[in-house]
């Protein structure tokens, strides 16, 4: 190991990223830049749902006051159908769009869509509070979400007098018959930190591992909802991001690592 690498904040740490293929690179590359040895264990796959219901809602595009996006995956599904429906211009002119966090807002802007509201914290409860503050009584809102998403938003909005249309645009599934070096490493406990960015990643990883996660493995979660899912399956959450984003997760891991002594010698196990 070079002297330069030795002073990096995550040097000596072996970290496994459980995000979906195609979404893991951002987190993995940032961790590696800080000196970690990173393995990827894609614990979820994103599967689009038939777009017929969303297309039907888009045909009523002028009736909505707010569009509410709660994930980057939801943005991809929504923006793709919006473009196919040739409704983008009308959307930019009329709608107000709410994003649950900065990553979702960034993806919206990448698709040329404006963002009118982002809550202070990237959780459904904070987004609900921010929307209620705008006055939603009598308003109509469209929520393109993941299948099985929590009902915090629609329930809270309806209770405040809004009309809410919830459309499931995608589902997350567990990869079938999946094996990898990273999976074997997690099973053996030869990893320092296992990262989770969603509740489904937690549940699927437990299924893929097929047994308990060794106690020596630190569990890092992107926010309270994911941390609750980890606790529900019997994991002890060691690291929880205060800023519920990839950057916040990295900051939380770095803070944890700074307090952890002594650092283990870096290896190339992952």
The single residue listed with the structure tokens 């952890």 is: 260
The helix (run of H) or strand (run of E) holding residue 15 is: strand 14-17
Smallest CA-to-CA distance from 193 within 9, 8, 11, 13 is with: 13
Whole-angstrom distance, CA of residue 117 vs CA of residue 127: 9
The pairing of beta strand 163-173 with beta strand 45-48: antiparallel
For the chain, what is the mean pLDDT? 89
Query: Given a cut of 50, is residue 269 above it in pLDDT?
Result: no
pLDDT attached to residue 254: 96
Asked whether the beta carbons of 44 and 176 are under 8 A apart, the reply is no
What percent of the chain is predicted at pLDDT more than 90? 74
Whole-angstrom distance, CA of residue 186 vs CA of residue 214: 8
Give tens-digit pLDDT for 73-110: 999 999 988 887 765 555 556 679 999 999 999 999 99
Record the pTM.
0.81
pLDDT attached to residue 91: 54
Q: Is residue 88 classed as helix, strand or coil in its secondary structure?
A: helix
Average pLDDT (214-235) is 95
ω into 33 cis (within 30 of 0)? no
Whole-angstrom distance, CA of residue 248 vs CA of residue 253: 9
pLDDT attached to residue 270: 42
Average pLDDT (147-169) is 96
Query: Given a cut of 60, is residue 233 above it in pLDDT?
Result: yes
Asked whether the beta carbons of 257 and 3 are under 8 A apart, the reply is no
CA–CA–CA angle 262, 194, 30 (5° rounding):
80
Give tens-digit pLDDT for 110-131: 998 889 999 999 999 999 999 9
For residue 203, report the phi and psi dihedrals to the nearest 5 degrees. Answer: -65, -45
User: Is the C-alpha dihedral spanning 165, 169, 170, 171 positive or negative?
Assistant: positive
> Exposure pattern of 17-55 as b/e (b: 16+ CB <10 Å)?
bbbbeebbeebbebbeebbbbbbbbbbbbbeeeebeebe
Query: Given a cut of 80, is residue 150 above it in pLDDT?
Result: yes
Q: How confident is the model at residue 224 (pLDDT cuts 50, 70, 90)?
A: very high
Asked whether the beta carbons of 225 and 203 are under 8 A apart, the reply is no
Q: How confident is the model at residue 58 (pLDDT cuts 50, 70, 90)?
A: confident
pLDDT attached to residue 109: 94
Residue 23 per-residue DSSP state: T
Smallest CA-to-CA distance from 90 within 110, 114, 108 is with: 114
Whole-angstrom distance, CA of residue 140 vs CA of residue 138: 7
């Amino acid at each position: 190991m070079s002297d330069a690498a030795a002073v990096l904040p995550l040097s000596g740490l072996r970290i496994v990223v459980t995000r979906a293929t195609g979404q893991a690179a951002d987190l993995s590359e940032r961790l590696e830049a800080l000196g970690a040895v990173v393995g990827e264990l894609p614990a979820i796959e994103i599967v689009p749902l038939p777009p017929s219901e969303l297309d039907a809602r888009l045909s009523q595009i002028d009736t909505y006051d707010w569009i509410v996006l709660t994930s980057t995956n939801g943005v991809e599904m929504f923006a793709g159908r919006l473009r196919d429906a040739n409704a983008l211009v009308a959307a930019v002119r009329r709608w107000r769009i709410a994003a649950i966090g900065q990553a979702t807002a960034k993806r919206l802007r990448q698709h040329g869509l404006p963002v009118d509201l982002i809550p202070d914290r990237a959780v459904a409860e904070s987004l609900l509070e921010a929307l209620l503050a705008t006055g939603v009584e009598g308003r109509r809102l469209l929520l393109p979400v993941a299948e099985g998403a929590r009902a915090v938003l629609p329930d809270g909005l309806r209770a405040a007098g809004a009309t809410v249309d919830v459309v499931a645009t995608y589902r997350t599934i567990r990869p079938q018959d999946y094996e990898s070096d990273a999976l074997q490493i997690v099973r053996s406990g030869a990893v320092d930190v296992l990262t989770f960015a969603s509740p489904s990643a937690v549940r699927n990883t437990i299924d893929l591992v097929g047994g308990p996660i060794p106690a020596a493995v630190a569990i890092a979660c992107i926010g309270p909802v994911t941390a609750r899912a980890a606790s529900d399956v019997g994991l002890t959450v060691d690291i929880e991001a205060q800023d519920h984003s990839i950057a916040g997760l990295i900051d939380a891991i770095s803070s944890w690592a700074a307090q952890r002594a002594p650092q283990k010698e870096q290896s190339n196990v992952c």
